[in-house]
Amino acid sequence: MLVKLAWRNLWRQKRRTVLTASALALALLLSLFMRSLQEGGYASNIDNSARFFTGLIQLQHPEFKESQSIDDLLPATDAFIEPVRNNPHITHLLPRIESFALAAAAEKSKGVMVLGISPELENRYSHISQRVVVGEYLTDGDSQVLLGEGLAKSLGLSVGDDIILYGQGYRGQTAAGLYPIKGIVKFPIPALDQQLVYLPLTQAQTLYSTGDQVTAWVLHTDDLVNLEQTVNELSRTYINRAVVRDWQDLSPEMAQQIMMDKVGGIFMMYLLYGIVGFGLFATILMMTLERQREFGVMLATGLLRRKLLMLIGIESAFIGVLGVVLGLILTLPVLLWFYYNPYELTGELAQAVLELGWEPVLKVLIAPWLFKEQIMLVLGLLFFCLIYPMWRIYRLDLVSALKGGAHAD
């Protein structure tokens, strides 16, 4: 009976019900869009950085993190990597040689990061071939290299020119080689664009005299949500044989930037909730005050106070559901539009974003946990705003309520 009565009460004052539900819908629309845009940007930049450089997870020699030495290697054998292949959350598995070298051409030189890669596997993972702006992508049998566009400009090189790589190889051996440039790649992240040199894995192993070994196995999971679980499983599997590092450990600067940005975004979101909450509280309080005679009559005819509170609670729950449904109806088309049509920043703002090492594209994340989080926050806001009005109703004086107006307390 209370449910039916609550539903009828809502539509006796349609404007009041619609306004209250609209306030909740607006809060959900703004907060969900803000958080989806925020988390979408994080996911995009994490994915870009991972695919072009670190990967989401790396298996490394236990000493490699501190030493960054070409002497601390892992086996590049099927027996060593077999447990990873059996993990259901791993979607990509790539062997890499990662080391430093001095790149020289004519009278110019620059320190670079050399990545020895398996061209076919790497292209499936990061689609590097689509970012080749001049020349061609590598193949497994090549003895040529790919350069970042920024690095090529710094050294004054183009396709067909030769580049000298000079460094230290395995166990103190000299690493030196002359390589023709097969292609130039444009990276979305400037820091990578100005320092990366791609070399086929076999050529990198020859250059650094590593034999059938690699500095890291790069892994990618099917979803960021499964990352922590996967890292824990692999850590147990490779205990004392390898260290399992996730992207936050591999790119602490990016992790710190994201954390600081996330804190600012959450602060703005709660500020928004505060503004909307004041309006919602005022609406609910006014709704309570103007209905005091109605509540007095219900109490006078025998309705228990606890049932009256239950009635108000059910009415509020209906309004909350209406607000959430309306908010989702308004929000989903907006999110879907931005999901399939990411907005690309231009001008000075785009340059500022690039300088931070992020891609200047606004993308949104559509994930069930994000919807659940914001819906729970909006409903929590509604019920928080109900605390004082419900307390007023609980201590309502029956005689004063029946008199109405200024006599009501």
CB 362 within 8 A of CB 342: yes
| Nearest Cα residue to 243 out of 61, 82, 55 | 61
Do residues 290 and 262 share a domain? yes
Label residue 359 by pLDDT band (50, 70, 90).
low
Confidence (pLDDT) at 406: 44
- Its pTM stands at 0.70
Of 187, 213, 241, which one is at a domain's C-terminal end? Answer: 241
Mean pLDDT check: name the lowest of 5-14, 140-149, 189-198, 361-370: 5-14
Label residue 357 by pLDDT band (50, 70, 90).
low
Do residues 200 and 335 share a domain? no
Do residues 186 and 315 share a domain? no
Alpha-carbon span 277 to 381, nearest angstrom: 7
Do residues 260 and 388 share a domain? yes
- Contacts for 147 with CB less than 8 Å, ≥ 6 apart: 157, 163, 181, 183, 184, 185, 196, 197, 198
Confidence (pLDDT) at 164: 93
Of 241, 264, 280, which one is at a domain's C-terminal end? Answer: 241
Cα angle, residue 293 at apex, residues 18 and 408 outer, rounded to 5°:
110
Element (H, E) at 152: helix 149-155
Whether residue 395 has pLDDT greater than 80:
no
Mean pLDDT, to the nearest integer, of 153-177? Answer: 91
CB 350 within 8 A of CB 206: no
Could you give the number of structural domains in the chain?
Answer: 2
Do residues 77 and 210 share a domain? yes
Confidence (pLDDT) at 355: 59
Label residue 407 by pLDDT band (50, 70, 90).
very low
Confidence (pLDDT) at 191: 75
| Nearest Cα residue to 366 out of 24, 31, 39 | 39
Alpha-carbon span 118 to 120, nearest angstrom: 6
Mean pLDDT check: name the lowest of 132-141, 151-160, 266-275: 266-275
pLDDT in tens, 286-318: 777 777 777 777 777 777 777 877 878 888 888
In a domain, 246, yes or no: no
Alpha-carbon span 131 to 137, nearest angstrom: 9
Whether residue 146 has pLDDT greater than 90:
yes
